[in-house]
Structure 1
Amino acid sequence: MQAEGFVKGRPTELAVLDYGLFKVHSNDRIIGICGFAIRTDAGEVILIDTGFPAKYATDTSAAVQEDRLFEFGEVLICGPDNLPQAQLAKLGIKPADITLQICTHTHIDHVGGLGDFPASPILISAAERALPRPLYWGAVQPLEWPDQDYLEVEGDVEVGPGITVLAAPGHAPGQIALMVDLSLRCSLADQ
């Protein structure tokens, strides 16, 4: 599938999704794990990143041990309310409403629910998708690529009006970022 022009509508709403908190051992930095939901004026719903795998919300200690994540940091908050479906439900969005997923990169806190929205294609950089498995973290790579349609991008690509994917490698080999134009449009009637 071609990513350029895949999104038809302009973004009208952007919401931040709360996937929990993580503390990095090396510098004691606390990171808010987040995703985003974008609605367009064409009725599309775009989900950006999916947080930790669901097992972290079910039994954080066991998941941390299984993945050896304790070597890198500490999961401070990740409960059932921090899973994508719960966060989307707060916005009145059902899993079937997702028309596109965007995976910024394949670290553990971004790909946990990647396969949870099977009806939607996944937009991802070609460099990340070329990996045998998602990076997850360190040498731990338990996830397989979900059997879904992929829109692979290279470089900067306008995927729709007001939504541009930007190549941002470094943190991960194929990391991408998004530039979303939520320009306010107002008429005299609005004032």
Structure 2
Amino acid sequence: MTPWEVFAVKYADRNQRTRKDSFILDDDHHLPHEMDYFIWVLRQGSEIVLVDTGYDQEEGDRRGRPIRLNPVEALAPLGVDPQTVSTIIVTHLHYDHAGGLKHFPNATIHLQAAEMAYATGPCMCHGTLKDPFTADHVCEAVQRLYSGRVVFHEGDGQVREGVTVHHTGGHSKGLQAVRVLTEAGWMCLASDTSHYYENFLDEKPFPIVVDLDDMLEGFRTIRQLASADRLVIPGHDPLVRDFFPSHGPDHVTRLDHGPTKWIDA
């Protein structure tokens, strides 16, 4: 199999957070804890597969969470044309992962069936569970369904040769991680299966959780999917940009060659 190039594209951050916002089991809840927001790009020759779409300025203004770059602008240095993107893996439908779908009008999305059922079902009657979703983003996914541009997965599924998805749940009912073959070995884009390295390495649950057992099992799953822990890529950890080299602009990080340093180095 031909390995894929993999890039993490940072488009936003939240620096007014503390550790109580990131970990249920932690003794230093008052300490600062920053969060980065990423879109991931898989590239093999001229073929592009996006993993998630981020959220745009309109959504940032609505939630009071400003972004640094709109998704289309953030992806431009990698030559990503939003009109020609044909495949997007949506790890889950939370606003910061599916909020840019409208900017890629011709793409077919790969989604766990459980996530669509969750985001459009009775669980959304609960404000706490509904809060990370935005109705317009979910409706965009439904519109894709009715136009024949949703591929549903139930558990494990293949998107391309060397690119597979794996249901983990925990943070959201239909959350999925992505396994991709790279030059450095099998890489797991964990997305929000593990927001930070600490979540899966120390089995510290993230506070936004639908099923705690699924979240803890998900930590084990992503470690099994990757060739090594250093190739598990958390969904929001600023350390990703410290461990892996930048690629051109400062907001683009190249992942597929592996990290240049690691936690225990």
Instruction: Give the TM-score of the pair, scaled to structure 2.
Output: 0.53
Relative contact order (C-alpha < 8 Å, sep 6+): which is higher?
A: 1
Deviation at 1:115, TM superposition (A): 2.0
Q: Deviations for 1:59-102, whole angstroms, at most 9, x for unmatched residues?
A: x3xx225xxxxxxxxx3x513xx222112211122112312011
What does the per-residue CA deviation read over 1:115-146, in whole Å, with 9 as the maximum and x for residues that have no partner? 2211110111101122328x795286432422
- Residue 29 of structure 1 corresponds to 33
> Partner of 2:120 in structure 1?
132
CA distance in 2, matches of 1:172, 1:125: 11
Write out aligned runs for 1:1-191 (5 A).
10-22=2-14, 23-24=16-17, 26-27=20-21, 28-41=32-45, 43-56=46-59, 60=61, 63-64=62-63, 75=65, 78-79=67-68, 82-130=69-117, 131-132=119-120, 138=131, 141-143=134-136, 144-146=138-140, 147-148=143-144, 149-183=149-183
Relative to structure 2, which stretch is displaced further, 120-129 or 44-53?
A: 44-53
Task: Tell me the CA shift for residue 18 of structure 1.
Answer: 0.9
The alpha carbon displacement at 1:53 in A equals: 3.3
Q: For 1:64, give the aligned amino acid.
A: R
Q: What's 2:204 paired with?
A: none
Q: Which runs of 5+ in 1 are unaligned?
A: 1-8, 66-74, 186-191
* Local SS of the residue matching 2:53: coil
Q: Is the 8 A contact 2:91 2:176 kept in 1?
A: yes
Structure 2 distance, partners of 1:139, 1:120, is: 23
Aligned mates of 1:49, 1:13 — CA distance in 2: 16
Cα deviation for residue 33 of structure 1 reads: 0.6
Q: How many residues align?
A: 159
- RMSD of equivalent CA atoms: 2.6
One-letter identity of the residue aligned with 2:88: Q
2:160 and 2:8 map into 1 onto residues whose CA distance is 20
Percent identity of paired positions between Structure 1 and Structure 2: 27
Higher strand share: 1
Q: Residue 78 of structure 2: SS of its match in structure 1? A: coil
Give the Cα–Cα distance (whole angstroms) in 1 for the partners of residues 114 and 133 of structure 2: 19
